Amino acid sequence: MTTLTLTLQGPPLKGVRSSGRGICFERIAWLEVLLAVEWDTHDTEGTRFSHTRIPDQEPLHSEAIDAAVLAQLSGGKQLLRGNTVFGLDNTGEVLLEVWHDSSRPIEVRSGELRVRELV
């Protein structure tokens, strides 16, 4: 499992900051999380897996998909959406992690988490 390093881009959301390895929540808020991971489509061996995870807990949302199917369906881009209340003691940070079971290294072209507040 590899944790992708995330940096904040775009307009800031109050109480949300980069933690250096993920996103930190400094206030309690109900937030939607949009995950996007773009894999190299030239190598379609194996399975591609990505998830958002709160450290020391189970993933919030995840997907494992055959690489050839992923390339055919979406050009190699995994897209997931989930939501939860962040900022409580056990939901103060979220990470983006990826994994594959190919026999050789695979390029992750981009990884992104977007958060927006739900009302």
| Per-residue pLDDT reduced to its tens digit, 74-114 | 999 999 998 989 998 788 999 999 999 988 999 999 999 99
Q: How far apart are CA 89 and CA 71, in angstroms?
A: 38
What is the pLDDT, as a whole number, of residue 10?
79
Query: What tokens were used for 68?
Result: 């050839």
- Look up the pTM and report it: 0.88
Q: Which ranges constitute the DSSP H helices of 17-103? A: 67-74
Q: The domain containing residue 106 runs over which residues?
A: 2-117
pLDDT class for 12, splitting at 50, 70, 90? confident
Q: Which ranges constitute the DSSP H helices of the chain? A: 67-74
Summarised one tens digit per residue, pLDDT across range 24-46 is 999 999 999 999 999 999 999 99
Reported as type and span, the H/E element at residue 90 is none
What is the domain-level CATH number for residue 76? 2.60.120
Domain count of the chain?
A: 1
